[in-house]
Amino acid sequence: MSERPPIRVLLADDSATIRSYLAGLIAAAPGLTVIGEACDGEEAVRLVETLKPDVVSMDIRMPHLDGLEATRQIMERQPTPTVVVSALVDEDVDLSFKAMEAGALAVLRKPPMQRDPDYGPLHREFITTLKAMAGVTVVRRWQNTPPHGITLPTRPTTNRPAQPENGSPATHTDKPELVAIGASAGGPSALSGLLAGLPENFPLPIVIVQHMPDEFLPGLARWLGKHTRLKVNMAESGQVLQENTVYLAPGGAHLKLGRRGQVLVANKMVDEGSSRYCPSIDVFFASVAKVCGTTGVGIILTGMGDDGAKGLLGIREAGGRTFAQSEASCTVFGMPAVALANGAVEHSLNPEAMSQALRKLTENS
């Protein structure tokens, strides 16, 4: 059997040193090859049209044409999976999320040099993300197109309830207290689509655990705040969770749900190395199952890996309501697929349909 051809990567970065460094990382990774290098956004757009790479590694701040405008033009002219690989200054973080609105699939921190303690995990994330995003089908994005996710037209839509193992749909009578959401690759676009459909008086707190470099999370909170009528904050340890407010789990620690009297509170806990992800969706979902029981609502959105599937099953087994993003609307159908396979999911919906389901759930409870 013939070997699969390598994934063809275009590198765009204004620093020749960084391009050389990233090219070396890619060359050392099985299944990847660099087919071109661009020193600015204008050259990136030209090379995408002539070389037709499988995936683009896009710097955000470049001369002549920055990564944001380059991404917009690529999605208009020659739609290609694009990963923003950014530095950490605030302006770059904000531009990175604007690039996601324009069609970029993921945002990553530039991998540091080998002597840096973060080299290992960030190097692996860079390579893994390029491989995963190269397999995503992206569509043409015209100017002023609403930024509510990536369309994958080749797969059937599955907005049907996922049947429990006994074949009968679950019934719920308890009023929900909290919505817990887990997301990874492609999550920001899915989250913006889901949150945009909720009213400003949505009567529950929403807590999100999004896999993303720690330094980008405050920028994600700012960006999501522009796409929803709800308040969006970073969660703080000991904080009482309020209705019509979205809380984003901070990086560097796990988030757990607690109860103080009649109110729900967020608690941070130090990572003891037992989880592959920090913050972990599974850790948070397990605390939701324990604290809320039948009043918890769990949602798994697009992402690589399996984090959250076990925790979502815990919420369902505790009597809570559970949802997963439909395959047709996912950037990466990894985490939702595992959750569906292990029987954790009651309903498989696209993000906009989830908004409708959440509104009906709170209206009818």
- Among the ranges 41-55, 102-116, 216-230, which has the highest mean pLDDT value? 41-55
On whether residue 144 sits in a domain, the answer given is no
184 belongs to the catalytic site: yes
89 or 229, greater pLDDT: 229
64 belongs to the catalytic site: no
Regarding whether 313 and 182 lie in a shared domain, the answer is: yes
Regarding whether 348 and 200 lie in a shared domain, the answer is: yes
Residue range 321-343: mean pLDDT, rounded = 95
Per-residue model confidence (pLDDT) at position 51 = 98
pLDDT > 60? residue 159: no
Per-residue model confidence (pLDDT) at position 144 = 52
Per-residue model confidence (pLDDT) at position 213 = 81
pLDDT > 50? residue 16: yes
- Distance set, CA 195 to CA 83, 107, 245, 332 (Å): 23, 20, 11, 19
User: In 300-364, where does DSSP find H-type helix?
Assistant: 309-317, 335-341, 351-364
Which position among 57, 86, 184, 192 bears the catalytic label?
184
| Domain stop point among 68, 103, 134 | 134
| Domain stop point among 134, 160, 194 | 134
pLDDT > 60? residue 127: yes
Which position among 40, 307, 326, 329 bears the catalytic label?
307
On whether residue 147 sits in a domain, the answer given is no
237 belongs to the catalytic site: no
On whether residue 166 sits in a domain, the answer given is no
153 or 345, greater pLDDT: 345
Domain count, the chain: 2
Other beta carbons within 10 angstroms of residue 66's beta carbon come to: 20
What's the pTM?
A: 0.84
**Taking a C-beta distance cutoff of 8 angstroms, is the pair 110, 129 a contact?**
no
**Which CATH number covers residue 194?**
3.40.50.180
Per-residue model confidence (pLDDT) at position 227 = 92
Over residues 78-102, the pLDDT tens digits come to: 999 999 998 766 677 888 888 888 8
On whether residue 186 sits in a domain, the answer given is yes
Which position among 211, 227, 254, 347 bears the catalytic label?
211
pLDDT > 50? residue 266: yes
Regarding whether 203 and 122 lie in a shared domain, the answer is: no
Q: Specify the length of the chain in residues.
A: 365
Regarding whether 208 and 82 lie in a shared domain, the answer is: no
On whether residue 139 sits in a domain, the answer given is no
Closest CA to 339 of 296, 283, 291, 282: 282
Query: Whole-number mean pLDDT of the chain?
Result: 88
- Among the ranges 89-98, 112-121, 202-211, 244-253, which has the highest mean pLDDT value? 202-211
- Per-residue pLDDT band for 224 (boundaries 50, 70, 90) equals very high
Regarding whether 336 and 188 lie in a shared domain, the answer is: yes
Structural domain boundaries enclosing 43: 7-134
On whether residue 36 sits in a domain, the answer given is yes
Regarding whether 204 and 69 lie in a shared domain, the answer is: no
Q: Which residue has the tokens 């109110």?
A: 263
Percent of the chain residues past pLDDT 90, beyond the cut? 69
pLDDT > 60? residue 26: yes
pLDDT > 50? residue 160: no
Per-residue model confidence (pLDDT) at position 281 = 97
**3-state SS class at 11:** strand
**Which CATH number covers residue 46?**
3.40.50.2300
- Per-residue pLDDT band for 151 (boundaries 50, 70, 90) equals very low
